[in-house]
Structure 1
Amino acid sequence: MPDMISNTSCMIILDNINRLDILQKLYQTIHLTEEVAQEFGKPLANWMTVNVVEDKNYLRLLNASVDLGEASTIALAVQMPGDHVMILDDLKARKLAKQLDLKYTGLLGILLKAKQQNVIASVSDILAQFRQVNFRFSEKLEAEVLKLAGEL
């Protein structure tokens, strides 16, 4: 299983609906950067590992294109050896990751995997909770995710 590197938005949204456990149940350990941990702003669970981005110049270069949390997540992915996947929802960050040939998924992809592995019973129920905490996604994307989850 690849190492998972999370950006801040995924953590905040799951925390807002009291479902950070989804990440732990799916991946056991989540890697964060110091910048992401600071943006998250809450005490971290013991299954969250904070990593230091070593190349601060590269981090600044990336930060010129995307927010600091996304920049540090991408910089860590470049720095880390082995197989890893980033959790990114920001479109600019995803485009940058694609240009760098890095693997990523988003929060909705995580929900699909959680349903497939019986971590959650319903993607639809979690999406409804996401809407309550102002996580925005199109109706088209919602229909696509629900179809893939077998709920439409």
Structure 2
Amino acid sequence: MPELVISDTSCLILLTNIGELDLLQRLYGRVWTTPTVAAEYGKPLPAWIAVEAARDQYRQQLLATQLDAGESSAIALALEKANCTLILDDRRARRVAEQLRIQITGILGVLLKAKQRGVIPAVKPLLARIRQTNFRLSAELETQVLKLAGEL
């Protein structure tokens, strides 16, 4: 059974900013997101990104009291999908998702998986491009990722 992956806005924006949005398609085939995330992204989404709203809008509204609208909608959708992985980088949103027992990864986890599956030859050049954006990446975390990727 193919992996069901839901993306939050930050992943889509960051991969677009470094010219690697198609990495998600090469890695997962199809990715889901919500209408709220699509609106926050602000550009037309490729056909391989499915847009679906969570059915339980009340749950989404409750989550929105703690998190931003995109994160709330992505978490609400993930709660309705069995065996999904949610790509989420915001620390507070990750904590909420973990408390709700949602399987999560972040952009760095996506890069590591892409390297492990042979989708990309190396993580290091992408990390260098990420450093040129406003994405917060500590030197310690970058070193840890490079070690896990076998590039340090």
Instruction: Mark yes or no: TM-score above 0.5.
Output: yes
The answer to whether residue 91 in structure 2 is matched with residue 70 in structure 1 is: no
Separation of aligned partners in 2, 1:116 and 1:54: 35
SS at match of 2:20: coil
Give the aligned partner of residue 8 of structure 1. Answer: 9
For residues 29 and 124 of structure 2, the distance between their equivalents in structure 1, rounded to whole angstroms, comes to 24
Q: CA deviation at 1:17?
A: 1.1
- The AA in structure 2 aligned to 1:122 is A
CA–CA separation in structure 1 for the residues paired with 2:138 and 2:18:
20
Partner of 2:86: 86
Q: TM-score, normalised by structure 2?
A: 0.97
Give me the whole-angstrom Cα distance separating, in 2, the residues matched to 1:71 and 1:13: 19
1:23: which partner in 2?
24
Q: CA deviation at 1:83?
A: 1.2
More displaced, 70-79 or 117-126?
117-126
- SS at 1:104 equivalent: strand
Letter in 1 for 2:125: D
Residue matched to 2:137: 137
Aligned residue pairs total 151
Whether 2:32 is the aligned partner of 1:41: answer: no
Letter in structure 1 aligned against 2:7 = S
Give the 3-state SS of the residue equivalent to 1:71 in structure 2. Answer: helix
Q: CA deviation at 1:16?
A: 0.7
Letter in 2 for 1:103: Q
Query: Partner residue of 1:115?
Result: 115
CA distance in 2, matches of 1:17, 1:11: 10
Q: Percent identity?
A: 50
TM-score (norm 1): 0.97
The CA distance in 2 between the partners of 1:61 and 1:16, in whole Å, is: 31
Deviation >2 Å, runs of 4+: none
The Cα offsets for residues 14-37 of structure 1, whole Å up to 9 and x where unpaired, read as: 001110111000000000000000
CA-CA distance at 1:2 after TM superposition: 2.3
Gaps of 5+ in 2: none
